[in-house]
Structure 1
Amino acid sequence: MGTPRPNPLQWVWYAYGGKLPDRYAEWVLHDVTCRTWVLRQLARALTQLAPLCVVILLLPGPLWIRLMSVLLGLLVGVFYSLSAMVETTEHRVIKHGHPPGIGRETRALYRDARRATKHAARRHRWWT
């Protein structure tokens, strides 16, 4: 990929919903449409939840209660993040100057291309 990537501080800003400079628009499209886009969404969600988990662990009280609170918070946070990931990624793409729907369309094109390649490879093995 020839597009520039944001540095770690910019990525954290982006993970919290911030807008990156215009030169990263293609990287944002790649970020929300590549094969690992779901894992990237999960990484952004965990980055957003990390400070809350640290605060909970620093509170006084029994360790098991704090650990269970962190676990429950992570489960709920990840659930909501993953349930809204398509809409969230579309919002990110629009925020960075791309037309609405381009993320979903690009993911569908990539998915269809991977399926066609996989199908062609299977067919080729079967005939040879």
Structure 2
Amino acid sequence: MGTTSRPPARPGVLRWLGYAMGGGLPARYSPWVLHDTTTRTWGLRHLARALVQMAVPIVLIVALVPAPAWIRLMTALGGLLLGLVFSLAYMAETTENRVKKAGYPPGTATAARERAARVREQQERERRRAAAARRAARRRARR
């Protein structure tokens, strides 16, 4: 994440699809990769990439397997659920690998997420202290 206020350059749809399928991006997108894997919604972004990866085999199963529709759909659903379980189980490792591919040292994404969590916790503590001070001031004013 940079010191500038401009958001990092986003890849186009085709590049993002390649990235979602596990490919790398050119170096100019490295700040975006770090943002993608460390922003507050990084887990949802990971799930979106996982669903894109699983879409191809699911479509092939539903379209090409010679079986009744209910068997094809149940097979696709089972594969999707199993794929999501594995995707969630290895979410942190997968995102770290993406950040490493983008040229950052291992552990960068985890450290950035932990740093952001500490900042959010500090802001929440300050918000609660300010709210408590306002309540105390209102109580004193009522007396």
Question: Is TM (by shorter chain) over 0.5?
Answer: yes
1:17 aligns with 2:31: no
Unpaired runs of 5+ residues, structure 2, are 1-5, 135-143
Identity, % of aligned positions: 48
Whole-Å separation in 1 of the counterparts to 2:27 and 2:8:
11
Aligned partners of 1:97, 1:55: CA distance in 2, in Å?
Answer: 34
Partner amino acid, structure 2, of 1:126: A
Q: CA deviation at 1:60?
A: 2.7
What are the Cα deviations for residues 49-85 of structure 1, in whole angstroms up to 9, with x where unaligned? 0011111111232111111111110110011011111
**Matched AA of 1:22:** A
The equivalent residue for 1:94 is 100
Structure 2 letter corresponding to 1:124: A
2: distance between equivalents of 1:118 and 1:65? 50
TM superposition score normalised by structure 1? 0.96
How many residues of Structure 1 are paired with residues of Structure 2 in the alignment? Answer: 128
| Distance in 2, Cα, partners of 1:43 & 1:2 | 21
Partner of 2:59: 54
Residue 23 (structure 1) shift: 0.3
When the two chains are superposed, the root-mean-square deviation of aligned CA atoms in Å is: 0.9
Runs of 4+ more than 4 Å apart: none
The aligned amino acid for 1:119 is R
Mapped pair 1:67 → 2:69? no
Q: 2:7 is matched with which residue?
A: 2
Q: TM-score, normalised to structure 2's length? A: 0.86
Structure possessing the higher radius of gyration over alpha carbons: 2
Q: What secondary structure sits across from 1:9 in the alignment?
A: helix
SS of 2:25's partner is coil
For the residue of structure 2 that corresponds to 1:97, the secondary structure is coil
Q: Which residue of 2 aligns with 1:122?
A: 128
Gaps spanning 5+ residues in structure 1: where? Answer: none
